Amino acid sequence: MTRPRTLLVDDPVLERSPFGSSHPFRAERGALTRALLEACGALHQDEVADVERLDERLLGAVHEQAYLEALIRAGRGERVDDARMFGLGTSDCPVVPGMHRVAMRAADATVSAAELVASGAAQRAVHLTGGLHHAHRARASGFCLVNDLALAIEHLTRRRGLRVAYVDVDVHHGDGVQGIFWERADVLTVSVHQSGRTLFPGTGAEDEIGAGAGRGFAVNLPLAPFIDDAGYLAAFDALVPTALSAFGPDVIVLQAGADAHWRDPLAQLSLSGDGLDAVYGRVIDLAERCCEGRMVVTGGGGYDAWRSVPRAWARLWARLAERELPDELPETWRRAWGERLGVSLPTRLREGTLPDLDARATERAASHALAVAKRVAARLTPLWRRED
């Protein structure tokens, strides 16, 4: 029997948001996407893998003990005096009973996905409710408590001895992951995002390149608001492929946030559904070229939660698992999940409405992005040269 090449890691707990149901971070997006794939016949029972329990020591390698203690105590409803110092009890990361357990389950799931790929059980493994890239060593931030991506990367590098290229196409800068691997040369972090001058968290400028042994191993491509598909892809192509092939990863970890979509209410880029799909496709192609297709993939941001996100991530899975999806989305899925969420779900896979672009703004954003991409590539290329 041949093993499926692509596996989805999932667990019922992952449907819950650590912050409860009135918070904008919608954990149901993963289950909604999974249900859509099942309804389309694009995901089979034997392609779903269970979540394995996380090794506590891994947690300690990524997060500071004081932060973990504060998180657990806050989640247990105990008083934490310096909660705000750890980014807890803020409007983004309110203290909710049990939040630490949900967050750690999500981290378990991404590490499980990493291990499936490292062990060869899968070529690609996906965890849709992961991708919590804003969690720092000692600080919760931007809806993220535990940095599942950093844990997975730590597992792949330190335990499995693999070189990891992290590619983050969430519209927000992947600040937590970048910070945690800032001085590491065995992890290349690449983040393509809306510039910090106009968007949270503010970092991700092109001159952030890593430090010490890791100098040159943090790559940032900040983009101006309103950039469209063509502008984004041209800038991406001018920088990311060169970086990845120079680095030569054993595996790519992709944070596939869907919030660069034009409908996303939290950000201002103008990518279409087809554009996002093309971005995901680019990274998958790069994995084929650089590391025999090995990929650990997570979801991430995406706040047009019931409309753009399930479509984007269903298409992502279809690419990873090499499936075809019908353009007409199953009525059974629309009815069941529409009722459950109290929303009306899209009827088609491809969006009927495209962004209303201001030609001058998109053109300026594109021209600037290409210049930035070329500058970063020119500056970092000498640093990527490996001595072998």
Q: Which residues bind other proteins (CB under 8 A)?
A: 22, 24, 26, 84, 87, 90-92, 134, 136, 139, 141-143, 172, 175, 196-203, 265-266, 268, 305-307, 341-348, 351-353
Pair 136, 304: CB distance under 8 Å: no
Q: Up-side HSE of residue 83: CA atoms within 13 Å toward CB?
A: 19
Rounded to the nearest whole angstrom, what is the least distance from the CB of residue 135 to other proteins in the complex? 10
Question: Taking CB within 5 to 8 Å according to partner kind, which of Zn ion, other proteins, none is near residue 352?
Answer: other proteins
For 291-317, give the DSSP string: HTT-EEEE----SSTTTHHHHHHHHHH
Question: Is 134 part of the annotated catalytic residue set?
Answer: yes
Question: How does DSSP classify residue 155?
Answer: I
Instruction: Name which of residues 284 to 303 contact Zn ion (CB under 5 A).
Output: 301
Out of 63, 134, 155, 172, the active site residue is 134
Estimate the share of the chain in helix, then strand, then coil, as percent rounded to the nearest 5: 45, 10, 45
Question: Taking CB within 5 to 8 Å according to partner kind, which of Zn ion, other proteins, none is near residue 170?
Answer: Zn ion
Which amino acid is it at 148? D
Rounded to the nearest whole angstrom, what is the least distance from the CB of residue 21 to other proteins in the complex? 8
Q: How far apart are CA 321 and CA 349, in angstroms?
A: 17
Rounded to the nearest whole angstrom, what is the least distance from the CB of residue 90 to other proteins in the complex? 6
Listed residue (53, 88, 97) closest to 68, CA to CA: 88
Instruction: Name which of residues 257 to 276 contact Zn ion (CB under 5 A).
Output: 257, 259
Question: Taking CB within 5 to 8 Å according to partner kind, which of Zn ion, other proteins, none is near residue 158?
Answer: none
Rounded to the nearest whole angstrom, what is the least distance from the CB of residue 151 to other proteins in the complex? 19
Structure-token match 């500056």, residue found: 379
Q: Which residues pair with 139 in a beta bridge?
A: 136
Structure-token match 């409908």, residue found: 263
Q: Indicate whether 170 belongs to the interface with Zn ion (CB under 5 A).
A: yes
Pick 105 or 172: Cβ nearer Zn ion = 172
Collapse the DSSP code of 312 into the 3-class scheme (helix H, G, I; strand E, B; otherwise coil) and give the result: helix
Task: List the x/- string, 207-246, binding to Zn ion by CB under 5 A.
Answer: ----------------------------------------
Q: How far apart are CA 91 and CA 271, in angstroms?
A: 28
Residues that bind Zn ion (CB under 5 A): 170, 172, 257, 259, 301
Residues with catalytic roles: 134
